Amino acid sequence: MADVAARAGVSVPLVSIVMRDVAGASPENRARVRRAAEELGYRPDSRARLLRRSRSQLIGVVFGVQHAFHGDLVSGLYPAAEALGYELTLSAVTPHRDERRAVAGLLQDRCEALILLGPELPTSSLGQLAATMPVVVLARSVRHRDVDVVRTDDAAGLHQAVDHLVGLGHRRIAHIDGGRAPGAAERRSGYLTALAGHGLADADLILSGGLTEDDGAGAARALLDLRPLPTAVTVFNDRAATGVLDVLRQNGLAVPGDISVTGYDDSRLARLSHVALTTIRQDAAALTHAAVARVVSRLDHETVDVREQVLAPELIIRQTTGPLTTAAVTAPRGGRPDTPAGRRRSTQ
């Protein structure tokens, strides 16, 4: 910086003023400084900058490196933060790097606030963190007075899925749940209350699943043993739903002819033309905007009336749900078939 100042024939603070694009420099000097900086390949050191300003303008983000939907959320967080004059610093959760370590890394970077994507940390840990700095939990529900939450109304999402299926004529609707994953409890209860609303309270059928393709596949195999076979299944998320789809089709069931399937997230996965999964959209852009806005409100010490922001989900109807076909309703199924569709055989 001193080099730039010398080359431009001005003082160091003036260089600072020019580089930050703030008022207080003549157009001539501005141009001179810019040129000198260019020639010297000078780049401001953000660390030193942030060190000097007491505020770091840095938001830490913890995300799962394997989560497709987290990818969508990170994509949305960048522009949302930029719009409000903040930067993001990312910390990944991997199979060998848990959330604690991811958070610890961010704290060392002196970020002013944390946005956690679907964290699995216990509420108490989140509360401890939130005592130190603003913490916004994205895509999970947490009941703690210090922790802000931005999430989709998961119960309503499953309600919509069930309503849609009932509207198509389905009565035996199963749910493959997400186990202990964030949001799983809400989705389960949404499923149950929706069934009850349609007078199907006794027909509930919950299989234990999870959030990976394999979890979905495993649950689907369990589902195939049920008699009578459900005619529709709502799955915890898109990822698990693709596992379900694969297993159903490999076992000779047509989707949606024999059985309808819904996912959750409207992730990239669901939108693929060959998957075309009916699903519940979580609006990544709205979620991320709300999360960053909340962080900034907290940092600006604005009073916040509601701790939890719950966004409405949206049903996206694609091609994995449809009306019952006669065949599916009447065809008796004597057991789990090996080659249910003629020459087709399972690859499992």
Residues that bind a copy of itself (CB under 8 A): 41, 43-48, 50-51, 56, 65-66, 68, 71, 74-75, 78-79, 87, 89-92, 94-97, 105, 107-110, 132, 212-214, 217-218, 243, 246-247, 249-250, 252, 254-257, 268-269, 272-276, 319-320, 327, 341-345, 347-348
Phi, psi of 148 (to 5 degrees): -80, 150
Q: How many of the other CB atoms lie within 10 Å of CB of 204?
A: 15
Give how far the C-alpha of residue 227 lies from the chain's centroid of Cα atoms, to the nearest Å. Answer: 35
Among 31, 38, 39, 44, binds DNA (CB under 7 A): 44
The residue whose two tokens read 């009916």 is 278
The residue whose two tokens read 């895509």 is 139
Contact status: 65 vs DNA (CB under 7 A): no
Residue 281 Cβ, how far from DNA at the closest point, in Å? 41
Residue 26 Cβ, how far from DNA at the closest point, in Å? 3
Q: Using the minimum distance from each CB to DNA, give the nearer residue, 25 or 328.
A: 25
Q: Using the minimum distance from each CB to a copy of itself, give the nearer residue, 145 or 343.
A: 343
Indicate the SS3 state at residue 53.
coil
Give the CA angle between residues 218, 278, 158 to the nearest 5°.
Answer: 75
Residue 59 tokens read as 């938001």
Q: Decide which of DNA, a copy of itself, none touches 125; Cβ closer than 5 to 8 Å per partner kind.
A: none
Q: Decide which of a copy of itself, DNA, none touches 91; Cβ closer than 5 to 8 Å per partner kind.
A: a copy of itself
Indicate the SS3 state at residue 107.
helix
- Calpha distance 154→152 (Å, rounded): 5
Site for DNA in 241-300 (CB under 7 A): none
The residue whose two tokens read 């499953």 is 158
**Rg of the chain in Å (alpha carbons):** 26
Q: Decide which of DNA, a copy of itself, none touches 348; Cβ closer than 5 to 8 Å per partner kind.
A: a copy of itself
Residue 2 Cβ, how far from DNA at the closest point, in Å? 7
Q: Using the minimum distance from each CB to a copy of itself, give the nearer residue, 226 or 331.
A: 331
Among 7, 6, 4, CA closest to 18: 4
Check whether the bond before 323 is cis (ω within 30° of 0).
no
* Distance in angstroms between the alpha carbons of the first and the last residue of the chain: 64
Site for DNA in 14-33 (CB under 7 A): 14-17, 19-20, 23-26, 28-29
Residue 44 tokens read as 């401001």
Contact status: 206 vs DNA (CB under 7 A): no
Residue 314 tokens read as 């949206």
Residue 38 Cβ, how far from DNA at the closest point, in Å? 14
Instruction: By CB under 7 A, name the binding residues for DNA.
Output: 1, 9-17, 19-20, 23-26, 28-29, 42-45, 48-49, 51-54
